[in-house]
């Protein structure tokens, strides 16, 4: 059980996933860490198709990301990717990760 705004709910409160750290590893791959403790490597050369993501095929654009609002974004927010999608396409990193 948990309480929010004076209302008691059954079950567990869901944690909204947020990007808390990201690092460019090279070769169009970003390592992304989430507030839930999960860490994934995301290959932007193969997992992101379509015209909306075309600018990310330019390595200089891909390297200039922001994650301050809990998700990855580029070009002043013109392109953004939800944390849940990054988790679904990324390769999970097991064990300790040094950032």
Domains of the chain are: 16-92 (3.30.2020.10)
Residue with tokens 């392109």: 79
The reported pLDDT for the residue numbered 77 is 93
The reported pLDDT for the residue numbered 99 is 53
Instruction: Please determine, for residue 88, whether its predicted confidence score (pLDDT) is greater than 80.
Output: yes
Instruction: Please determine, for residue 98, whether its predicted confidence score (pLDDT) is greater than 90.
Output: no
Classify the C-alpha dihedral 95-91-67-45 as positive or negative: positive
| Per-chain mean pLDDT for the chain | 89
The reported pLDDT for the residue numbered 5 is 75
pLDDT tier, 78 (very low <50, low <70, confident <90, very high otherwise) = very high
pTM of this prediction exceeds 0.85: no
Cβ atoms within 10 Å, residue 11: 7
């Amino acid at each position: 059980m948990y309480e929010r705004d004076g209302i008691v709910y059954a079950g567990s409160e869901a944690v909204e996933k947020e990007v808390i750290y990201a690092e460019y590893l090279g070769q169009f791959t970003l390592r992304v860490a989430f507030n839930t403790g999960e860490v994934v490597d995301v290959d932007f050369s193969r997992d992101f198709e379509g015209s909306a993501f075309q600018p990310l095929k330019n390595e200089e654009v891909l390297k200039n990301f922001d994650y301050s609002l809990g998700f990855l974004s580029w070009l002043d927010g013109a392109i953004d990717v939800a944390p849940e999608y990054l988790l679904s396409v990324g390769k999970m990193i097991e064990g300790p990760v040094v950032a």
